[in-house]
A and B are shown apart, each in its own frame.
Chain A
Amino acid sequence: MIIPVNLREMVEADLEFSLEGEWGLPVILIDPDGNIQDKKKGAETELKGQILYNTVGLNPETGEQVVVNNPIVTLRKTSLERIPANGEKWLVRIPIVPNATADKEDFLISATKPLEGGASIGFIRLYCRRAVQV
Chain B
Amino acid sequence: MVLYDFTVEGRFRFNIMMLFRQIKTNIINILTTAEAGRFQTLSYQRQGKAAIEFFGTKRMVEVYFDSGIFSKRSAAIQGPFEHAMNFNIELSVAEAAKGDLSVLLDQGSTPAERAIALNNFNEAAPLADESFDELFEIVWQILTDARNYSLGLDKGIVVDRWIENVQKNQALPDGEYVVLTGSMNLKCTAKEEVLGDPASIIGIDADTSLELYSEDGVKEPVQKTGVTQEFPS
Residue numbers of A with Cβ under 8 A of B are 30, 32-36, 55, 57, 59-62, 64-71, 89-91, 106-108, 110-113, 127-134
Contact = CB atoms under 8 A, between A and B. Distances in A.
B113 A69 contact: no
Contact of A112 (B113, B121, B125): B125
B118 A132 contact: no
B122 interface: yes
Interface of B: 46-52, 96-102, 104-105, 109-119, 121-125, 169-179, 181
A55 B177 CA distance: 12
Contacts of A91: 104, 118
B179 A68 contact: yes
Closest 8 CB pairs of A and B: A68-B175, A34-B114, A34-B111, A112-B173, A34-B115, A65-B48, A61-B169, A130-B176
Contacts of B111: 33-35
A89 B110 CA distance: 17
B105 A106 contact: yes
A66 B47 CA distance: 9
A128 B122 contact: no
A61 B170 contact: yes
A60 B119 CA distance: 32
Contacts of A59: 169, 172, 179, 181
B172 A65 contact: no
A91 to B, nearest CB: 6
A131 B121 contact: yes
B169 A68 contact: no
A70 B175 contact: yes
B51 A64 contact: no
